[in-house]
Amino acid sequence: MTRAEYNKCVDHYADGVYRFILKNIKDTERARDIVQDSFSKMWEKVGDINTEKAKSYLFTTAYHTMIDEIRHEKAKTSFNENIYDNLTVNHSWNDLKEVLQKALDTLPLLQKTVIMLRDYEGYSYEEIGNITNLSDSQVKVYIYRGRVALKNFIGSMDKVI
């Protein structure tokens, strides 16, 4: 990959990677740091990366960097704060976007990730499998289970509207 191809990748994929990370961690500064770190890692291996695989490499790197960041943050968070956060529930929603976000937040990270890659970013099962190191069938199972959990959380649309 040349410098011009790298710069083209930055222009084409930075926003998509940022949106994906931001949807998962909901912290703009941390999301920017993760995206920047992902592009830095890509630059370090620019000679080894094929231009056609650059998008997949970026999302994979960003995903793994995000997982590492989340694990590091969990190690810092105290036990009591986690229990308090999990016990507080507020079901007063104003719009459908808020309902969907609350529902997504209830999913385990891997289910949330595969659903967002599939439904928000439009990746194929194979691409999602490459990003998350899962087989196509595992990706399909996680998406199915995540969608069932979302459906159970939200209930019928009559309750939302």
Res 80: pLDDT: 47
Do 63 and 120 sit in the same domain of this protein?
no
Structurally, the chain folds into a number of domains equal to: 2
Q: How confident is the model at residue 142 (pLDDT cuts 50, 70, 90)?
A: very high
Q: How confident is the model at residue 159 (pLDDT cuts 50, 70, 90)?
A: low
pLDDT (mean) for 45-61: 86
pLDDT at 42 over 80: yes
pLDDT at 115 over 50: yes
Do 1 and 80 sit in the same domain of this protein?
yes
Res 156: pLDDT: 57
pLDDT at 29 over 70: yes
**81, two tokens:** 């704060």
Range of the domain at 145: 91-161
Question: Closest by alpha carbon to 21, among 31, 36, 30, 9?
Answer: 31
From 53, 88, 123, give the residue that closes a domain. Answer: 88
pLDDT tens column, 58-106: 888 898 988 888 887 776 665 545 555 554 444 454 567 777 888 888 8
Which CATH number covers residue 109? 1.10.10.10
**91, two tokens:** 């079901």
Question: Closest by alpha carbon to 25, among 71, 81, 56?
Answer: 71
Three-class secondary structure assignment of the chain: CCHHHHHHHHHHHHHHHHHHHHHHHCCHHHHHHHHHHHHHHHHHCCCCCCHHHHHHHHHHHHHHHHHHHHHHHHHHCCHHHHHHHHHCCCCCCCCHHHHHHHHHHHCCHHHHHHHHHHHHCCCCHHHHHHHHCCCHHHHHHHHHHHHHHHHHHHCCHHHHC
pLDDT at 57 over 50: yes
Q: How confident is the model at residue 144 (pLDDT cuts 50, 70, 90)?
A: very high
Name the more confident of 97 and 127.
127
Do 5 and 51 sit in the same domain of this protein?
yes
Q: pLDDT over 90 for what percent of the chain?
A: 9
Which CATH number covers residue 83? 1.10.1740.10
pLDDT at 119 over 70: yes
Q: pTM for the complete prediction?
A: 0.57
